[in-house]
Structure 1
Amino acid sequence: MSSMNWGALAHAWPYLLNGMATTLMLTAVTIVLGIAFGALLAVARMFGPPWLSGLSRLYVDTLRSIPLLLTIFWVFFLVPPLLRSLTGNDHLDVGPVYAAVTAFVLAEAAYFAEIIRGGIRSVRTGQMAAATALGMRQSTALRLIVLPQAFRNMMPSLVNQCITLFMDTSLVYVISLNDFLGAASKVAQRDGTLTEVYLFVALVYLAMCSLGAALVHLLQRRNTGRA
């Protein structure tokens, strides 16, 4: 350990910080848009007409069956030619940032949808029946009564999925997007400090995921206490 060049990390830190900013941006945007889209999918599957429920189920089952790496490839390489053919603009392109965000939102929404569907099922059905019996519309009862309780019940599962998402963002290296791991790889190869940089990256991921795991444990204890 004494022979390692830890000082190289100090010089590389600005570059690594930019990579971490990209990772956190991808994670945050995907969480917000993925949960919103996932909630729509879950509600459509549970309360929509048969054709809409079937489409939602087909989407969720399909996206959960496709490797995330393949989804990233599809969005990055296949969507631009499709958009060019539809718009007639031969110069239209999808950059790596938009491709990564789109791929992550499409894929993660399928997982969030199943978590949200499970959360809605955890709320007693009598509450929805009582609300509608009092004259409340189903959509209003779902928004004001069911979903707030459902999100509280499923919060540990949501945080777990967010931790997985944070780690999965490292897959964007395949489209040359400079995330935290991608930046670290370039620094390590440039400076010849593979061991130092990759050990540092592992410790950062470990610290971030440990914080998330502690949050999950805290939420589970709070839910158990309420029960």
Structure 2
Amino acid sequence: MPTIDFSFFTWANISNYLLSGLYFSVSLTIAATIGGIALGTIIALMRLSNIRPLEYIATIYVDLMRSIPLVMVILWFFLLMPSGFYDLFPGGIGNKYRAEICALITFVVFEAAFFSEIVRAGIQSLARGQTAAGYALGMTYGQNMRYIVLPQALRNMLPVFLTQTIVLFQDTSLVYAIGAYDILKGFEIMGNTFGRRIESYLLAAVVYFVICFSMSLLVKRLNQKIRIVR
């Protein structure tokens, strides 16, 4: 049975192998969350509209994305995205960071389907009298959503948003499939460099657990505060 040795896990090695990967994983999570919520809100409003074509397009989009494994979507974007797309970025950045750009686009597009369902459920959780009151004041559909519905629904959606963000952070490890340098990739390279792959993957699991468990506690406390306000 191989001996377990964590002596290689020093601050110097953490700085050299892990910090850049952690920065990318966190940055990807934040950017994909913001982009996913923005796009997901648009999709949710399309599904809730009375315009049939928009409703059908949004429904097909959500059902499609929620029925396909994320790793397949990542590979599709990475392999099928035309090379000319990356040439649009100045200074050769697109080709240099092809995997990272592909990962960001994929996560925004994919997570938007899940965030849209959260937004749709949050909007539908409000009493219909709220919307009727807005229309009675002469507001348009857009004004009603902007000033009355969405601000109130956001409070109901916030804990679920954060929970989905935790899942998103865990899913960022899948960019490993296209060679992006995330935190899991950093652990793999460090383990291979020092011949300690088992210990490296164990430490990776611990880091993911600590981050995700801490965020889960934050969501739990936030949810309790929201219940008190209600």
TM-score (norm 2): 0.89
8 Å contact from structure 1 (residues 9, 197) kept in 2: no
CA distance in 1, matches of 2:5, 2:176: 26
Question: Does 1:141 pair with 2:144?
Answer: yes
CA distance in 2, matches of 1:5, 1:217: 33
Shift of 1:83: 5.5
- Aligned pairs, how many? 219
**Residues 82-106 of structure 1, C-alpha deviations (whole Å, 9 max, x = no match):** 959xxxxxxx968111110111111
Question: Does 1:11 pair with 2:2?
Answer: no
**Residues 187-207 of structure 1, C-alpha deviations (whole Å, 9 max, x = no match):** 101111223322222221111
Partner of 2:168: 165
Spell out the pairing of 1:47-196 with structure 2 (5 A cutoff).
47-80=49-82, 95-196=98-199
Percent identity of paired positions between Structure 1 and Structure 2: 37
Shift of 1:128: 0.8
Question: Does 1:206 pair with 2:196?
Answer: no
8 Å contact from structure 1 (residues 72, 99) kept in 2: yes
What one-letter code is carried by the residue in structure 2 that aligns with 1:95?
A: R
RMSD: 1.9
CA distance in 1, matches of 2:175, 2:194: 22
Which is further off, 75-84 or 55-64? 75-84
TM-score (norm 1): 0.90
8 Å contact from structure 2 (residues 8, 194) kept in 1: no
Unmatched 5+ stretches in structure 2: 87-93
Quick one: which of 30, 33, 40 aligns to 1:38? 40
Cα distance change of structure 1 residues 3 and 101 upon mapping to structure 2, 3 Å threshold: closer
8 Å contact from structure 1 (residues 167, 205) kept in 2: yes
CA distance in 2, matches of 1:5, 1:135: 67
Unmatched 5+ stretches in structure 1: 85-91
Cα distance change of structure 1 residues 170 and 134 upon mapping to structure 2, 3 Å threshold: same
Question: Does 1:21 pair with 2:8?
Answer: no
